[in-house]
Amino acid sequence: MTDIEPQDSRTDLPVAVIGAGPVGLAAAANLIERGITPIIFEKGTEAGAAIRQWGHIRLFSSWQHNIDPASRRLLEPTGWTEPRLTSLPYGAELVAQYLEPLAATPAITAALNTSSTVTAVSRVGMDRTHSRSRDKQPFLVRVETADGAVTDHHVRAVIDASGTWAQPNPLGQAGLPAPGEVAAIDAGLITEPLADVTGASRERFAGKHVLVIGSGHSAANTLISLGQLAKNEPSTRISWAIRGNDASRIYGGGDLDGLPARGQLGTRLRGLVEDGYIDLHTSFTATAFTATPSGLAVTGATPDGQMTLTVDLLIPATGFRPDLDILREIRLELDPVVEAPRELGPLIDPEFHSCGTVPAHGAKVLAHPDKDFYIAGMKSYGRAPTFLLATGYEQVRSIVAALDGDYEAANQVHLQLPETGVCSTDLGGSCEAPATGQAASAATASSCCAAPEPVLLGIPTGLAHGRSTTSADATITL
């Protein structure tokens, strides 16, 4: 792997940023700070549209790890009041206290196009099969607005920070929807992920038999909220199905957990199961969905044969995957396993890495064969379930430095984390894994993001991958 070297570029054109979530706005803030004009396309009607859909969920990562440095510098002259850095924000607070003020700064406002859906990215005048002078051609970003108008924008570079929220993983086996799954979604029998069961959608779930499928923090948050609902509405029934043969990994490290909020989540979930509020079904793989007069029949394969659960509603909590359709004319180099950039994939593969063993990375690791095209943020992790907002901020800082020709800054990747590390999973929780020590190893081994053996706990990640690190609060040269 070689360092990024200078190449020709169209510096007279803006840089397109797809997505106005935390990482997309951080990319724009870094561009503005370096005197590069951004143009931001957001599918939703407002910045942070995806986070608004899970605003009732509390993050485990504190404010100090959720604010991008360049964005802070853009906000400070406006009189913005910084939140208490040690507190843990809800998604709605992340939007109201950070993303909305950031989107309201004059420089971001001038660049932000909401209700603007990117439908394709290509090169001007050539599809992916044409190579001659390809790097010298601007990118073409096709955008459709809410009124149906379609416009082609020419830009010098593209940072795709559109996330994965709109692309939930299927519930069926082998990565495919089970028979009847799409019809059940269309009928409203399978809900959106991270439903607000005790708030705006309470009446939809109260007194119903609800099934949750999934084994991450999205599932845990949803089940705990359903448990609260069941205590107030005793006719509410809760079933929980997971593919694993026990739930200890989901319960986490309890009192050993380096982050108390995460440990409490697992402890509360375990208590709801043990107290009979949640009926847990292990080793359950959904194979079919059938609408019936009494609700939704969910058939699953178990070690003892087929089993059918008939419920009123099903809440999916099986994670997300990237939507790559808009990038069909871009030359991508993706890891064949997790669909992340090829250099990044082996570093985040959940079969071999927990969040505590993923190193900081920047433009070089995220580069694709089409020069000056980058995927950043949650989408850069492909199908891998863990993501760190602070990592996303460092990704775009490095990318923008590379676009500005500051290759020294682009190739020096900095990431300061607390001793436990802080990362989010399924966009609704976190998977913060202690990095060192016996207690840290115990907590990580039983946490939601613990990887199957071999797990490189307490080992500097750079050494594990032949890279150089100095400490847990490291400057990592890649």
* pLDDT above 50: residue 397: yes
Are 13 and 407 spatial neighbours (Cβ–Cβ below 8 Å)? no
* Domains present along the chain, CATH in parentheses: 15-166+320-413 (3.50.50.60), 173-316 (3.50.50.60)
* pLDDT above 80: residue 425: no
CB neighbourhood size of 84 (10 A): 10
* pLDDT above 60: residue 343: yes
Average pLDDT of the chain is: 84
Measured between alpha carbons, how far is residue 23 from residues 29, 69, 345 in Å?
10, 12, 19
Per-residue pLDDT of 309-323, as tens digits, reads 999 999 999 999 999
End-to-end CA distance of the chain: 9
* pLDDT above 90: residue 213: yes
* pLDDT above 80: residue 277: yes
Q: What tokens does 175 get?
A: 């990565």
Q: How far apart are CA 321 and CA 388, in angstroms?
A: 16
pLDDT band for position 355 (50/70/90)? Answer: low
pLDDT band for position 394 (50/70/90)? Answer: very high
Q: What average pLDDT does range 361-374 have in this prediction?
A: 96
Q: What average pLDDT does range 87-97 have in this prediction?
A: 96
* pLDDT above 70: residue 398: yes
| E-assigned strand segments in 184-304 | 209-213, 237-241, 278-281, 285-292, 295-302
Are 89 and 51 spatial neighbours (Cβ–Cβ below 8 Å)? no
Are 94 and 297 spatial neighbours (Cβ–Cβ below 8 Å)? no
Q: What average pLDDT does range 128-133 have in this prediction?
A: 94
Percent of the chain surpassing pLDDT 90 = 71
Burial per residue of 294-321, b for 16 or more beta-carbon CB atoms within 10 angstroms, e otherwise:
ebbbbbbbeeeeeeebebbbbbbbbbbb
* pLDDT above 90: residue 255: no
Phi, psi (rounded to 5 degrees) for 346: -65, -20
* pLDDT above 80: residue 228: yes
Query: What's residue 443's pLDDT?
Result: 32
Per-residue pLDDT of 457-474, as tens digits, reads 222 222 223 322 222 333
Are 317 and 222 spatial neighbours (Cβ–Cβ below 8 Å)? yes
Question: 1-15, 45-59, 142-156, 457-471: which range is least confident on average?
Answer: 457-471
pLDDT band for position 247 (50/70/90)? Answer: confident
Please work out, in degrees rounded to the nearest 5, the angle formed at the alpha carbon of residue 105 by the alpha carbons of 102 and 108: 80
* pLDDT above 70: residue 429: no
Are 334 and 340 spatial neighbours (Cβ–Cβ below 8 Å)? yes
Number of Cα atoms under 13 Å in the Cβ half of residue 411? 13
Q: How far apart are CA 393 and CA 420, in angstroms?
A: 19
* pLDDT above 80: residue 160: yes
Q: What tokens does 291 get?
A: 């609408």
pLDDT band for position 264 (50/70/90)? Answer: confident
What Rg do the C-alpha atoms of the chain give, in angstroms?
A: 22
Task: Give the H/E segment covering residue 109.
Answer: helix 106-111
Q: In what order do the strands lie in the sheet with 116-123?
A: 116-123, 139-145, 150-155
* pLDDT above 60: residue 200: yes
